[in-house]
Amino acid sequence: MATVIDYFISTSSPWTYLGSKPFIEMAEKAGATVNVYPVVFGEIFAVSGGLPLPKRAPQRRAYRLMELARWKRRRNSSMHVQPENFPSTAPISSHAIIAAREAGMDALGLSNAVLAALWEDDRNIDDPDVIAAICGEWGLDAAKVMTGANAPETAQMLTDDTQEAINRGIFGAPSYVIDEELFWGQDRLDFVAEKLGVG
């Protein structure tokens, strides 16, 4: 039986972006099944003690930019450390990934494409037309994804998935859960690889 990884993300998290490609590569190498759960970290922070970026101390915000620059070099990434379209505030990107997941499409690949659109190309992932374009570029049925993304039940799934994340002790993005063991942060991917037996 294939290993199952529950992958909790924020579609506007630079850390999720930085870990997305190496994570997908190691999951594929391990033959793992990945369940993608975009969740609302504003709600999670409210019960886990986290703070949204604007409310963090200036020292922490400054250090965040230093760390992003370091990881950009480490990952040999073309990311924009301070894209104009950050922060993302609309749920449409999360809804689209959920819709793709529920339709049996490549939600994991779409999540990576959405993250890259923001952090590599500085596209506005709050714009439904941009999300539809990304779906098409990724080879998905954009009309079907966007119909699902705009369905009330999809919004409810985002709420339910966020509560499930809270129930399972998730407090930051990205988070990977394997056999009920939690790994938080793209800088912990070495431990994820070890757990998957591909390290």
Cβ atoms of residues 10 and 41 within 8 Å:
yes
Task: Please report the sign of the dihedral spanned by the C-alpha atoms of residue 181, residue 169, residue 20, residue 50.
Answer: negative
Q: Mean pLDDT over residues 39-51, rounded?
A: 96
Q: Name the one residue in this structure whose structure tokens are 């480490």.
A: 74
54 pLDDT exceeds 90? yes
Residues 85-135 pLDDT 10s: 999 999 999 999 999 999 999 999 999 999 999 999 999 999 999 999 999
Helix (H, G, I), strand (E, B) or coil at 88: coil
How much is the pLDDT for 83?
98
47 pLDDT exceeds 90? yes
Residues 10-33 pLDDT 10s: 999 999 999 999 999 999 999 999
199 pLDDT exceeds 80? no
Which CATH code fits 4-196?
3.40.30.10
2 pLDDT exceeds 90? no
The answer for residues whose C-beta is within 8 angstroms of residue 114's C-beta and 6 or more apart is 11, 93, 96, 97, 125, 131, 134
Domain ranges of the chain: 4-196
How much is the pLDDT for 65?
98
Residues 160-193 pLDDT 10s: 999 999 999 999 999 999 999 999 999 999 999 9
1 pLDDT exceeds 90? no
Confidence label for 37 from pLDDT (cuts 50, 70 and 90):
very high
Backbone angles phi and psi of 56, in degrees to 5: -80, 155
